[in-house]
Every structure is written in C-alpha cells, then in structure tokens.
Structure 1
C-alpha cells in the first residue's frame, strides 16, 4: 500500500522524503507553490536526484503535487483565469523536473455564478493548453464537496471535463470527505459508489485518493475534514472502502487536520488494520 500525508518541502524534497520514511509513509503530498499565493521556489536538480534515491530505497509510490488553492480556472473574472492559467502552465513545466509518476492534483474551480457549463469550458480550454506543454503529465481533477459554486462535486461534472479535454493524461483524485459531503454514501453503499465511478468515469481514470474523515453529514456539501475516527464516516468504513479490490492498489495520502505525530499514528493505524485483513 502506498500511503502518505501532506508534508512541507520548505527544506527540500530530500528532507520531506526522509520525514515520510520516519513516520512510516512511502508517499507524500506537497504544494507546488504557496497554497494561498502564486510564488514557487526553484527546484534544485540535485535535491531531486537525492529524492529519487530515497524513493527507490524505500519503495515509494507516486508523489502528489497539489496545485495552489488560489488557482480558479473557471472564474467569472478574466484576470483571475489568466493568473490561474499562468500557474497551471508553470506547474506543468515544474512537473517535468519531478519523478515521472508524480500525480498533479488540483481543484477544478468555482464558476462564481456564471453557470457550470461556462465554468467547465474554461477549465477544459486551460487543460488543453496545459497538456500541450506537458503531454506526459499525470493530472488528477480532485472531486469536490460541492460548497458554493464548486465544479467537480458530481462524477458527471468530472467526466465532462475529461471528455472535453480528450487527452489520456487527465484523470481524477477522489477525496473521502468530499465524496461523503457531496452525497456519495461510502459508509452504507461503498460498492455502489465504486460502481458509479467506474460506469461514469472509469476506474482506469482514478489516479489517487485523499483519505479523510468528515465533520459534516452525508450530502452536507461542506468541506470539513476530520481526523480518522473523529468524524461521521468512521475508521471502519474508511478501511472497508480503501481495501475494496478495485481501490486497494490506488495511492493514498492523508489530508487530515494533523501535525506530524498525528499523521504517524494514522499511518500506523491504517497499516495495522489493513494487515489484519490480509
């Protein structure tokens, strides 16, 4: 099982990988740049060489490169879209300096009242340009909770983007909190949810999983992550979901509200629970 959590790369990728190993992880997620801004630190090629050495030694799975929260490709404001497109293109170039199987995860965007059809087309247009820059990118649209005017909280919306771009590099990342909040009952009907992903999008397009509990109820359309076992999904349901045959080999990263020791405890919990099922 490839399992990690969100880590800072302030001290470099090698240091983040060493931290991951120290807490029992064999993957990690990082922001490509300031999550609330647009600045990005230059990538040191030597740091990436050392990162790859650690990843090879400890059998790492794919890393998750998370796009900035300020990137709204579907905004109703042209200057906001232009900024988002610039960030996306720059991230595609930066991705080429990272390990080849790195998964680029980002929030599709919010249409801000102009309607999901218009917003979706803006996202499609931006991604068409992005894959021209990096046709081998591994891009995963993150499924959202549906708060406000978010696009991508229904599987059909994610499919519309994928079909609109029409490029094999585009897939999805599911988030257990977001799915539950969006109305997908992974507690009582996990098999039905998986079947729905497969029938609408295709499990071959499922690149990554964010693992979280949810502070809010099924269908609340609120984005409130909880630590594992401290939310309304619960540890049993989460373990049951991620160990389904269709999902068991998908890379996972925690996005729970934790410090490092909390992530370590959750990683140990998951590995122990999964091991007991084998």
Structure 2
C-alpha cells in the first residue's frame, strides 16, 4: 500500500490532523512542531495526543513526520542563532516522545560565508549534544536545493554530517524530489543513477522519507520552488516512476505542494491510482 500524506496545520492539535488526513485518504502526514517562522510552540494536550493515537490506530496512520521551523539554523555564524537551534531541537525532541517512534526532519542550515566545512562541524556538534540512546525519534537531514550558502546541497555534505554523529542509529535522510532535482540530480532522466549515487555515498538504508514535490524551475536551478504534481519541470511521469521505484516504494511520501486540502486530496487520489501494488 502506498503510504502518502501531506503537510497539515498543527494549530488545532494532533487529533484534528488525523481527522483531516482521513478526509483526504491520507495514511500519514507532516506537520510543523511550532510556528515555522518563529519560536513559539503550542502546549501539548495529553488528551489530544490520546485521541490522536486512537484515531491513528483506527485509520492505520503510518509514520508521521515532524518538521523543524525554518528559523532553526544550526550552522549560523551568529552564536545566538545556533543556541536557538539547540534549544528548539531539544524541546522538539522532548515533545516528539508524546508520539514515539516517528521522525523529525530539519534543514541543515546555511553556513553564511563560513564555508561548508564549518557548517558541517556545527551541525554535527549540535546533534551530538542532543541525541540520546533513549529517544525513539529518528532525526532526518533533508536534501537541499543548494541556494545561497545552504549545507546539504549534495549527498557528500550530508554524508559528512552523518559520519560525525556518534549515535548514527538515531539519524536518517529525507529526500526532497524538488530539492534534489534543483540541486542537479536528474531524477527525471536518470533516477536509477541518482539512487545508486545516494546508496554509494550515504546508503539507501538511511533514507527514511520522501518529500514529494514537483519543481517550478527545474534541474540545476538551485531555486527551491515547489510546484503541484505534474505542473512542474519534473512532471507526472517521473513522479510516478519515483513512487513505484523498488528502492523507494516502501517509504512514506509527504506532499509539500502549493495546495489546499482539496488539492492535496486530488493529488493523493492521482498517485494512489498510479501506484502499482506489489
């Protein structure tokens, strides 16, 4: 069965997200842990969490994916920004244990003229400070499009971070289809080649989730502008090949396309129809 969902608003709580997922025939979803452009996080309501667990069991919700706020930059040149990243992720990982066994995704950040090597060092330092043997959450590095001074613009940079993390079993990667295409990995004409490179450099066993997005600007653009499925430079045929690829088809897919709930529902229906059950 295709495990697919979209990004849902967490403002009304976990149970409300599960109910929205049910409405659009999703069996997973992604959400922001807090205001994506700020610092504030909504207090967790244990009753809401319990209601979520009951609903998730009823409708067979699979692994959900929490997304760190965009303001989290673990490799900033500003020490206060790095401290904010540490405090935010520490709090987020604590909150994630209300829904154990799921994943937490974050953008590696921007090194802001310090150089990728310095940025990688800061990111690994933060992860080594925060990850614990007791946590049930897997932390995911997201593949990036390579705009500006982003870290994670290629598989080698992600591998460098992972190699420096002590508790590597707590780590994984989220592949964003728009980002990797914009970064120069041709998933349209050479998906096998891209996945072979990922396996050689990082290891496919580390790939835990896929952000499923079309790309507005396309290969090597380094723009990071998402498009609706089939309306961008990647195109529907390539997206269908991606969800059916033997190395990817078992993973959860999360839509981040510019859509409302009705639009997500249409995309989910389209992709379910195109998914080839094994």
| TM-score, normalised relative to structure 2 | 0.97
Tell me the residue number matched to 1:78.
79
RMSD: 1.2
Tell me the residue number matched to 2:88.
87
CA contact (8 A) 1:92 1:134 kept: no
Tell me the residue number matched to 1:3.
4
1:133: how far off?
Answer: 8.0
Following superposition of structure 1 onto structure 2, how do residues 56-135 of structure 1 map, counting pairs within 5 Å? Answer: 56-98=57-99, 100-132=100-132, 135=135
Runs of 4+ in 1 over 2 A off after TM superposition: 132-137
CA distance in 2, matches of 1:184, 1:199: 14
Following superposition of structure 1 onto structure 2, how do residues 63-212 of structure 1 map, counting pairs within 5 Å? Answer: 63-98=64-99, 100-132=100-132, 135-167=135-167, 168-212=169-213
Secondary structure, aligned partner of 1:27: coil
1:25 and 2:26 matched: yes
CA distance in 1, matches of 2:204, 2:61: 22
Following superposition of structure 1 onto structure 2, how do residues 224-235 of structure 1 map, counting pairs within 5 Å? Answer: 224-235=225-236
CA contact (8 A) 2:97 2:135 kept: no
Secondary structure, aligned partner of 1:87: helix
Tell me the residue number matched to 1:52.
53
CA contact (8 A) 1:153 1:182 kept: yes
Unaligned runs of 5+ in 1: none
CA distance in 2, matches of 1:68, 1:134: 24
1:2: how far off?
Answer: 1.0
CA distance in 2, matches of 1:59, 1:92: 24
Secondary structure, aligned partner of 2:222: coil
Residue 179 to residue 149, structure 1, CA distance change in 2 (3 Å): same
CA distance in 1, matches of 2:134, 2:220: 36
CA contact (8 A) 1:212 1:254 kept: yes
1:230: how far off?
Answer: 0.7
CA distance in 1, matches of 2:226, 2:101: 27
Deviation track 1:24-56 (CA, whole Å, cap 9, x = no partner) reads 101011000000000001111111111111111
1:21: how far off?
Answer: 0.5
Secondary structure, aligned partner of 1:104: strand
Stretch deviating more after TM superposition (194-203 or 171-180): 194-203
Tell me the residue number matched to 1:37.
38
Unaligned runs of 5+ in 2: none
CA contact (8 A) 1:2 1:61 kept: yes
